Chains A and B, each alone.
Chain A
């Protein structure tokens, strides 16, 4: 069997070292090895966006990243979004806007929204929908998700 190797990455601001096999995906290591189960698994083939994390600032589907590829990188997951016990604007907007029903898609949508607002602090509805198209939600019909993203953007714009 291929040797396990030590991988070192900065996850949510902290340097984390873990052992993994080449065939383990970043999603698998986050969930099974590091017990960070906030990142969800819906398809394991890049089709649903539930496993979205930020890798060196870019949103990626962690089910299509090998854990070893993450060596030396910086990763942000849903567990690192709240500041201490304070929800950030996106989380708050999802909560207040009832933008989740079952909630399985929510971590992925929140991470993708973080990436969107980083790249485009004041997106139009069209731009929001285009940017979030890689994230599936089967419960909400997206209406309240899009509104929550709009609300989060406005709140951030107002405070900066």
Chain B
């Protein structure tokens, strides 16, 4: 690896001033599960790493009246154990359970997953579905950006030099809602998504009609996508396979995948439709409180 400095600030203020001092040559280090390998390959050569894991603001994992706050440095292993997330933000748990293996989850953060801005990031579609908003702090103060507008290209995002992602916050989940994330990978675990789909649905009291739905897609475009129309056309419709198929069709229309070692373009388009239907079915089942078991990889 190239030569660099390592800093471990304990407050956001300190971290931001370190970022400023290194003047664009520092990179935040969360779990390091993307960054350390990328540095080993010479893809990034920052002059300094700012370890963000000791900063209190980035380690928050709690709910208040505004909803759920997930600090950018919180590792997946904490998220999957958090009771409220397990009850209400299940898509996020589904995502965090399958990022890497157990060892990776001990370190990998949702913030790092998002800031790495890979098209196939497994948590991002769930963040989109659950209406996550990024809280970003920088020299010019704090700003908020909806997750679906965060990534701008493969490995690229809206962060400006000196800025840090502090947390992602989610609105409270309405009653009768459910969410799910799943991906297609050739193996059953330890693989990068060929296609990933996250969806959150809200039903009416009867549990038969969809009030609102949001769908996030991964690995089918240069950035994770919010399939806005696919979700919108479900509003007011019965929660059944006919409607799920319509949503799948709409989702297929907005994807622009590539052919690579993980799958062909045609395959990805096809599977997008398949997964959108499966994910909606599962999200609805969860919204209804029906028993639903999900075996990752199957």
Contact = CB atoms under 8 A, between A and B. Distances in A.
Q: A and B: direct contact (Cβ < 8 Å)?
A: yes
Interface of A: 1-2, 5, 21-23, 25, 44-47, 49, 52, 55, 58-61, 63-66, 68-69, 71, 112, 115-116, 126, 130-131, 133-135
Please report whether the interface of chain B is mostly helix, strand, loop or mixed according to DSSP: loop
B36 interface: yes
Contact of A61 (B3, B40, B103, B189): B103
A22 B190 contact: no
| Residue among B29, B51, B188, B190 with most chain A CB within 10 A | B190
Interface string B259-296: 00000000000000000000000000000000000011
| Residue among B29, B102, B190 with most chain A CB within 10 A | B102
Contacts of B1: 23
Contacts of B53: 69
B153 interface: no
A42 to B, nearest CB: 13
Interface string B133-166: 0000000000000000000000000000000000
B32 interface: yes
Contacts, number: 85
Contact of B4 (A22, A60, A131): A22
B106 interface: yes
B6 A22 contact: yes
B6 A60 contact: no
Given A46-B100, A134-B100, A65 B190 contact: no
A64 B36 contact: yes
A94 B102 CA distance: 21
Interface of B: 1-6, 8, 29, 31-33, 36-37, 39-40, 49, 51, 53, 77, 100-104, 106-107, 188-190, 295-296
B6 A65 contact: no
Contacts of A47: 190
A59 B36 contact: no
Please report whether the interface of chain A is mostly helix, strand, loop or mixed according to DSSP: mixed
Contacts of B77: 58
Given A2-B5, A65-B107, A68-B6, A22 B49 contact: yes
A133 B32 contact: no
B3 A1 contact: yes
B2 A23 contact: yes
A116 to B, nearest CB: 8
B101 A133 contact: yes
Contacts of B32: 64-66, 69
A13 B249 CA distance: 58
A126 B77 CA distance: 19
Nearest to B295: A126
Given A45-B40, A64-B32, A134 B103 contact: yes
A23 B32 CA distance: 12
